[in-house]
Structure 1
Amino acid sequence: MDFTFFAIVLLLAQGATADVGRTNILANDQVMIRGTIGAIVDNSSRFGMEQKVAMEMAIKDVYDETGQSCGLLMKASQREPYQTAVAALDLINKQEVQAILLPQTWEEASLVAEFGNQAKIPILSITDSTPIWATKKWPFLLQASPDQNAQMKVIAAIVASWEWHQVNVIYEDIDSFRSGVTPHLSDALREVGVEVSNLVALSPFDSSSLSTELERLESEQCRVFLVHMSLPLAEQFFVKAKEMNMMEKDYVWITTNPITSLVHSLNASTISSMQGTIGVKSYYPQQDPHFQNFHTRFRKNFSLENPDEDNHEPGTSAMQAYDVVRTVCLAMRESSNGGQQLLDKIMLREINGSYGRSVQFIDRKVAPAQIFQIINVIGKSYNELGFWSYGKGFSKTTGDRALYNTSMRHLGRVFWPGGPWTTPRGWIPSTNSKPLRIAVPTKSSFKQYVKVEHDNSTNTTYSGFAINLFKATVESLPFDLKYNFTPFYGSYDQIVEQIYLKNFDAAVGDVAIVANRYKHAEFTHPYTESGLVMIVPARTQNNNRALLFMKPFTKAMWALIGAINIYNGFVVWLIERKYCPELKGSALNQIGVLLCSAFTTLFSLHGGKLHSNLSRMATVVWLFVALVLTQTYVANLTSILTVQRLEPTVADVESLRNGNAMVGYCRGSFVANYLMEVLNIHQNNIKNYNSPEEYAEALRSQEIAAAFLEVPYAKLFLAKYCKEFIIAGPTFKVGGFGFVFPRGSLLLADVTKALLNVSESGRLRDLENSMIASVKCVDRESIDDMSSLSPSSFWVLFIFTGGTSTIALLLYVVCHKRFGHKTVWRLVLAVMRGWWHRKKSFSRRVSGVERSTSFSYTSYSSTHV
């Protein structure tokens, strides 16, 4: 519409506007009024009533501080853009105000902005969100309240904290709320992996649409609702939701600043209909002395002007209006003229606001809010749960000592709608109780994973590991899930595409998790190992077998055997050298005899040639140990020599490419693209097969040199053909198998969690072991799998023989040189005889031994003397 024509129409309607009030603070006749501020308020709403009181307080405070006053002329708008435009023209043309403060809606601000731009009068809007282009189109338009778009990040963080994956967004269908929700909330939710399930716009003029929209939302599965609307419409909305039993268990309601900031002013009826709601609002530090002073004075003034109101607490709109008027008044003191000069002064000023923090305009906007408060409606009021700070996260307090966390769960327990303290899932199964239609692939090459059979009575049975696992997963869900299996005869890519087209609700089977398939669907956590391996024929390895005779024992074991042999031989040689002339002679001769005696003891008994009982004792024990060692060695060596070591016929993929060899893969799988695009195998060298038997036959006949199978398939294949084939080369990283769901499915998170519970409980492992055991054959061990025996298996025997030889050596050294050979044995027999007198006391047995020893020693000495 032409601006001039529109202005003429508005001027004709000026009589329809009414003054709300005029405020001038005059100490005496000599006080000069620096200028007049115009304000357009909705005096019928709580917002308007709070703003009026706060602006009058700002005028008085500036006068008290500076001794100079500003005029304040307020006009009513009744939230009608037409009335707002009429009031603005009256303030500009008749009252000649120097600046205008506008109400909270963008519709009103957008009409007046053009008037202010033409008249070069600063227009200060306290709307929650002003488009970026608006301040460029209208240079005299200033957004005088913090941009609330940051609160959309708070809401996204709340939703992500409780692991909800979809949200219903309900907003008032006016420009200010539409522009403040749709783009910013969608971006914030997308960053945390949450989708908007429904975007519902409610008309502020048609209350009958509330029931219709709520009924539609009630039939949906998503139970998380974000409400972004003005307080009058919100009051109607929640009362209707309460009547429709939508404020009960399993529902989640979140409100934004326009509602939350005025929860304190709601009547008992409205509060009771909002029980369990979570609210987000701008935060003002209430402990600050400036806020305490403002708070006390506001309560007093508000109660005087509005005696019918039960609650006298100031909301964010009151503090914003106070700060704006105070800023403009102080700027007027420094401006000799209005217009551009006043605008510059307003943007350059930095003042202490109602809560102590500085207020300053940046790019024609007040700096965005950095801290938001989170409340929980309960009882007759609300609980303050905590705070969210931009770039930091959630905390129970603010300030330098605050501890931050990315999850809201750390703020404590939340009272949810319906009274439960347990966290709602955020969704419920469809109210129409229609069973899920689940597709099952019929072309699986390995029937152990999924098998579809039809009988003569047209009945279809579904079996296999994937089917059993899905049933176990459904049993672990915290709710009853109804479903029906449906056979699908297409490829795996096609089954995923059908889910994208909503022809199926899910797919269960050996469907590989591949990045390309994420365009159409989402997957649960993999329930199998991931990877792709190359399987080739195996052949016996005959090289490097010359030293197999050393394999039965470890190196440490061989070293210990050699050492104990030499030690025992030394003991026998030392004891026997007195009686055997052949043990004497040159040092070289004695060393040769010692070594020969030591090692021949392992294989023959020389007890008859020994002359001392000490050497006989040491030799008998060592012969026992040697017998055990030789028998163990023979048994282990025999086992090793009868085992064939297998090696692959093809070493790696490079060998396949160089030899231009043919390879195989599962028909219908993603492997073909991987072989061509990643492993660079030519398309003409790739063949597909339908079963393990076809793979085996193709490998035996050398039709293909290798088969590429996913790790779950490879386990089954090698379990059946363990003697003929072997894995060669590395494992290529690809996705495992998973259950498939549509993108944004509300079931996905719960099914994934239930699947993890089945895995962690051991049920998944049992199902997999049972599947592999059904096809398992006797595995052939390789030499590397044969364990060489170490000293730890024989340490008792080595201590026994070493200890015996050491005792014999000590007895020989200590006793033989002092008393002679016979005395040694008399001493030994005397000690042993003493131990057999069990009925005597310990001291008397010792005395008996000493007397026997003394007697033998005396007899011996007298005889030899």
Structure 2
Amino acid sequence: MSPGLSFFLVLLLTVASKSMALEGDNNCPTTKMVASVGAVFYYNCRVGREQKVAMDLAVQDLLRLSCSKQLVLQLKDSHGNSAQATSAAIDLSKSKQVQAIIGTLTIQEIALVSDSIGKTTEDIPILSLNSPALLPPVVPFQPPFAIQMANDVTLHMKCIAAIVGHFRWRKVTTIYENNNGFSTELGTLTLLSDFLRADGSGIEHHSTLPSLSSYLLDPKATIEEELKKLRSKSNRVFIIVQCSLELAILLFDKANQMGMMEKGYVWIVSDEIASLLDSVDSSVTYNMQGVIGFKTSFVSSNENFKQFKMKFRKKYGSEYPEEQNANPSIFALRAYDAAWTIAQAITKSLTSEQLFERILSSNFKGLSGKMSFKNDTLLSELPVFEIINVVGKSYREIAFWSPEFGFSKNVSDQHDNIEVLGPIFWPGGLQTIPKGWSCSDEEKPLKIGVPAMGAFNQFVRVSYEQDLNRTFITGFSIEVFQAAVKRLPYKLPYVLVPFYDSYDNMVKQVYFKGLDAAVGDTEIMAYRFDYAEFTQPYVESGLVMIVTIKPDKLKETWLFITVFTKRMWLLMVAMHLFVGFVIWLIEHRTNPEFEGIGTMLWFSITVLFFVQREPIRSSLSRFVLAPWFFVILIVSASFTASLTSKITLSRFKPSVEDIETLQITNAAVGCNGNSFIVRYLIDVLHFKPENIRSLHSINEYPEAFERGDIAAAFFVVPHAKVFLAKFCKGYTTTGPTFNLGGFGFVFPKGSPLATDISKAILEVTQSGEMQRLEKYLLSSNNCSSSTALNGDIELGPEPFYSLFCISGAFSAAAFLITMVRLARERQLNMPLMPATLIDNRVWMWAVIFLARTCVKFQARYRRGRRSFVVPEAKDLAEELNKMEQNSVGVAIQGVSH
């Protein structure tokens, strides 16, 4: 007998004896039910190798532990090709030698298998280990007898969007490997785009790479060409949505050579790569320094996993000794659990449909987690993804994420939410969060234009120092922009460039890429969005009209009457008369000094001024008079307060009340000729172009008002505040305020800087720094804006002019009465003087003198207000002088006679 045959007989006897001993120990039956299962994998990739080894271990464990079942695998290699994978599955199905199939088959490939064998034989259950599971709406159908043993792709896309949203990257670039003949890119990227949009982000560029199994002549050259295209873009956040580990290794190797793993770049990998990093060597991780990703978390501390890991490492190392690391991934665990799922479901005389239903009703704890299904898909607990960061020779955990609780510090306490992921080692060793975008030339700073011809240099001032040969750019808008840049989470190099043209042309230059951005007092207008994007307004704005002011003389003359209503005045007079009558009625019977109706009327008038002409003796009269004096005190105090308020606030009125008056009178108006206001006045407010005067400096407006060149000026609200603060007297705002968008900074369409600067502007505003800058802007002028609107608070005799005339008239009348009485008393000494003549001449002279005094007072008041003397008043004064001379002459002539 030959040595080889002897060795074979010994080995056969040994196996038989062990099998008999094992069966004898477990009291197993002498025969077992043998189940045949097909397996379709790609043996030339890491995932396929792990799955093959894991299923072999499942067959061995089933043989060792099960008394009644034995699993036989019929393996097929797909060679990484969709057509060959479909063909292998069809052959296994038609041969009727397998009861189920396990493999990395896509839903589209399973559908082809079902269509191909549907007319000739019965469908058999197919367990897809392809990750992630593609469900509607990614794919619009679910083939019969197809079961997906992977997490829903929706959860993977949510995790990616959560990472991007956490770091506030506004634009991303996606990379996708098309490794089969059926493209699912559109559905997957649509999901990702929707989740990104919810977090304020979006996909800016997309790159599709061919699979390594597509027989490329030079895959490295293809990868290099695609990376050159991506490097030429401004976006620096790259997300590898779907890619095999083998292609990812080539991709990062080439990216490292091309300088795309330096500072400023961001790389995010999905579960398909991150879950396999335990199996790569240090040369691979060296090219992936700073990469972040997510991998499915599973329990690795129980005894079952430890035993499986030990056996897996031993078997994998023996079959593939060229690979240094042999740690099992989640894909190996799911393949092992898939084999056990079919083994437990198979019994004798089961149809394919019955087997399919028994598989779906599985419910046990596997190595990868709980094995239960819903809607033909693995229904485990909501998965937890481990967020990793590649550093050094391996990676480190930085957080965990679940769709229910978001980010957390550890997997055991998902309620412990955190706000910051980290610390994170970014590509190039960057310590701060990358901004996620860059100019094509990283060393070139942003070219930011500023308006050099603005009418208000308080916002942007461009000055040139000849001694230093340098241009200085300062102002309120510049300080706000600098404060916002300081709050960005990244460094932003830029240079300010004066722009000597209109604001509209400056915005268009951003559109035509002559400028990278524009900073200044630029109004946010709807039509300007056709060329650029704007940040959050840093100053609210609107269009207002400013005109000169003039005294409101009619209100000043009789201002005191408006303090009380007519009912109030009538009530006060009636109460005075009633109180005086009551006191006279009480006092006249016991007090002879109160006899007569004249005494009653006089007393009721003097009560108003707290003057008692006659003594009050009755206690009852004092009882009536005391509360009335209290009422008078309260009313007079209220009258004083109200009159003071009216005098200080209602002294002036605008020279032009509204815009309609300007248009009816065809008056000229002024505005900044370089701003949008000219267009707004013509298109919206319908001013004639010939009535609009372009002014280019804040100092030109007062001169234009004084010369009469303009009747009104139009400003945006921030400019109006500065104008009224600088020119305190003689101007006010009038008419409605036309709401506008406010002042904002200009950036190109789609620029992530617009969003980042907007958030920084809000931080500047909420910190109180914006208010401090605005206060400094207005306080740098001569006075505050409040005085510009109200004028000087100084009181002259004008508000009391009518009171002086009334009081003077009463005094003049009393004086004349006294003079008449004196004249009558002297009649005895001058018998020849006619009494009637003297009385008439004296009355005439008094009236003329009083009228002449009033006319002169009014004329002097008008000259003091820089007005002019009415010609009629001048003529009246001359006539009164003549009448006064004639009356005096006649009086003297009568006395001489």
TM-score bracket, shorter-length normalisation:
0.5 to 0.7
Instruction: Find 2:222's aligned residue among 209, 219, 224.
Output: 209
Task: Determine the structure 2 residue equivalent to 1:124.
Answer: 127
Equivalence for 2:386:
373
Aligned partners of 1:416 and 1:188: how far apart in 2?
24
Q: Secondary structure at the match of 2:194?
A: helix
Match of 1:736 in 2: 742
Per the TM alignment, residue 115 of structure 1 is displaced from its structure 2 partner at its CA by 3.7
The Cα of 1:317 is off from its aligned counterpart by: 0.9
Determine the structure 2 residue equivalent to 1:51.
51
Partner of 1:413: 423
Q: 1:508 aligns with which of 519, 534, 538?
A: 519
Q: Distance in 2 between matches of 1:328 and 1:654?
A: 87
What SS does the corresponding residue of 2:522 show, helix, strand or coil? coil
**CA contact under 8 A between 1:640 and 1:786: conserved in structure 2?**
no
Q: Name the aligned partner's letter for residue 50 of structure 1.
A: E
Partner of 2:539: 528
Is 1:171 matched with 2:183? no
Distance 2:234 2:689 in 1: 50
Match of 1:745 in 2: 751
- Cα deviation for residue 402 of structure 1 reads 1.9
1:375-414 alignment runs, 5 A limit: 375-398=388-411, 402-405=415-418, 407=419, 409=420, 411-414=421-424
Work out whether 1:284 is the aligned partner of 2:298: yes
Deviation (angstroms), 1:242: 3.4
Q: Does 1:189 align with 2:196?
A: yes
Pick from 255, 268, 291 the counterpart of residue 254 of structure 1: 268
**Deviations for 1:546-590, whole angstroms, at most 9, x for unmatched residues?**
39999xxxxxxxxxxxxxxxxxxxxxxxxxxxxxxxx99998999
Partner of 1:423: 433
Within-5 A mapping of 1:425-824 = 425-428=435-438, 430-431=440-441, 433-434=443-444, 436-441=446-451, 444=454, 446=456, 448-450=458-460, 465=475, 468-469=478-479, 472=482, 476=486, 479=491, 481-483=493-495, 485=497, 487=499, 489=501, 492=504, 495-514=506-525, 517-518=528-529, 520-535=531-546, 537-540=548-551, 542=555, 545-546=559-560, 645-647=651-653, 689-691=693-695, 709-728=715-734, 733-748=739-754, 765=772, 769-770=776-777, 773-774=780-781, 780=787
1:619 aligned partner? none
Aligned to 1:624: none
Aligned residue for 1:511, secondary structure, equals strand
Q: Which moved more, 1:313-322 or 1:693-702?
A: 693-702
- Unaligned 5+ segments in structure 1 are 1-23, 551-582, 596-633, 788-865
Q: CA deviation at 1:197?
A: 4.2
Quickly say closer, same or farther: Cα 1:126–1:537, change in 2 above 3 A. farther
User: Does residue 101 of structure 2 align to residue 100 of structure 1?
Assistant: yes
- Residue 844 of structure 1: aligned partner: none
Does the CA-based 8 Å contact 2:240-2:269 persist in structure 1? Answer: yes
Change (3 A) 1:511 1:644: same
Provide Cα deviations, 1:725-780, integer angstroms capped at 9, x if missing partner. Answer: 32347766533212201123254466557767877695985587457745768964
CA contact (8 A) 1:149 1:180 kept: no
Listed as ranges, the matches of 1:228-243 within 5 Å are 228=241, 229-243=243-257
Secondary structure (helix, strand or coil) at the match of 2:427 reads: coil
- Which of 333, 337, 340 is equivalent to 1:326? 340
User: Contact 2:32 / 2:67 at 8 angstroms: preserved in 1?
Assistant: no
Asked if 1:300 corresponds to 2:310, the answer is: yes
Which moved further from structure 2: 740-749 or 685-694? 685-694
CA distance in 1, matches of 2:371, 2:712: 74
Change (3 A) 1:765 1:348: same
| Corresponding residue to 1:269 among 283, 287, 294 | 283
Shift of 1:305: 1.4
Q: Distance in 2 between matches of 1:181 and 1:255?
A: 15
* CA separation of 1:179 and 1:112: change in aligned 2, threshold 3 A: farther
* Cα distance in 2 between the residues matched to 1:426 and 1:687: 50
Once structures 1 and 2 are overlaid, which stretch shifts more, 71-80 or 167-176? Answer: 167-176
Counterpart of 1:73 in structure 2 is 74
Confirm or deny: 8 A CA contact 2:448 2:494 kept in the other structure.
no
Residue type of the alignment partner of 1:297: Q
Contact 1:100 1:123 in 2 (8 A): yes
Q: Which amino acid aligns with 2:40?
A: I
The one-letter code matched in structure 2 to 1:192 is: D
For the Cα contact (< 8 Å) 1:168–1:199, is it kept in 2? yes
Q: Which moved more, 1:701-710 or 1:183-192?
A: 701-710
Residue 156 of structure 1 deviates from its aligned partner by 1.9
Alpha carbons of structure 1 residues 343 and 690: separation in structure 2 relative to 1, 3 Å: farther
- 2:50–2:316 Cα contact (<8 Å) kept: no
Contact 2:727 2:788 in 1 (8 A): no
Which of 153, 160, 173 is residue 158 of structure 2 equivalent to?
Answer: 153
CA-based RMSD of the aligned residues comes to 5.3
Partner of residue 84, structure 1: 85
Q: Give secondary structure in 2 for the equivalent of 1:207.
A: helix
Q: 1:639 to 1:500 in 2, by over 3 A?
A: closer
Does the 8 A contact of 1:223 with 1:426 survive in 2? yes
Amino acid at match of 2:251: F
AA aligned opposite 1:187:
D
The CA distance in 2 between the partners of 1:673 and 1:395, in whole Å, is 55
Give, in whole Å, the separation in 1 of the partners of 2:645 and 2:192.
71
> Counterpart of 2:426 in 1: which secondary structure?
coil
1:696/1:96 Cα in 2 relative to 1: closer, same or farther (>3 Å)?
A: farther
The amino acid that maps onto 2:81 is: E
- In 2: Cα distance, 1:398 partner to 1:353 partner: 19
CA drift of 1:660 comes to 13
Could you say which structure has the greater relative contact order, defined with CA pairs below 8 angstroms and 6 or more residues apart? 1
Quick check: 2:669–2:711 contact (8 Å CA) kept in 1? yes
Equivalent of residue 199 in structure 1, options 187, 202, 206: 206
- Quick one: distance in 2 between partners of 1:780 and 1:108? 81
Residue identity matched to 2:208:
A
Q: Is this contact kept in 2: 1:499–1:505, CA < 8 A?
A: yes
User: Is contact 1:523–1:738 with CA below 8 Å preserved after alignment?
Assistant: yes
Rounded to whole Å, the distance in 1 between the matches of 2:78 and 2:220 is 22
Q: Which amino acid aligns with 1:143?
A: Q
Distance 2:51 2:142 in 1: 28
- Greater Cα shift, 737-746 or 321-330: 321-330
On the 8 A contact 2:501/2:674 being kept in 1, the answer is no
| Structure 1 pair 57–245 and aligned structure 2 pair: CA distance change class (3 A) | same
* CA distances 1:629-672 after superposition (whole Å, capped 9, x unpaired): xxxxx9xx999978873355788899999999999876676668
CA distance in 2, matches of 1:281, 1:642: 74
The match for 1:227 is 240
* Residues 1:187 and 1:667: Cα distance change in structure 2 (over 3 Å): farther
- Aligned residue pairs, count: 688
- Deviation at 1:310? 4.7
CA distance in 2, matches of 1:432, 1:421: 18
Distance 1:271 1:358 in 2: 33
Classify the secondary structure of the residue corresponding to 1:373: strand
Hey, what's the Cα distance between the residues in 1 that align with 2:43 and 2:691? Answer: 80
What residue is the counterpart of 2:38 in the other structure? 38
Counterpart residue type for residue 310 of structure 2 = K
- Give SS of 2:240's match: strand
| Higher Cα radius of gyration | 2
Write the deviation string for residues 812-854 of structure 1: whole angstroms up to 9, x where unpaired: xxxxxxxxxxxxxxxxxxxxxxxxxxxxxxxxxxxxxxxxxxx
User: Are residues 469 and 387 of structure 1, via their aligned partners in 2, closer, same or farther at CA, if it must alter by over 3 Å?
Assistant: same
Matched residue of 1:43: which SS? coil
Change (3 A) 1:668 1:693: same
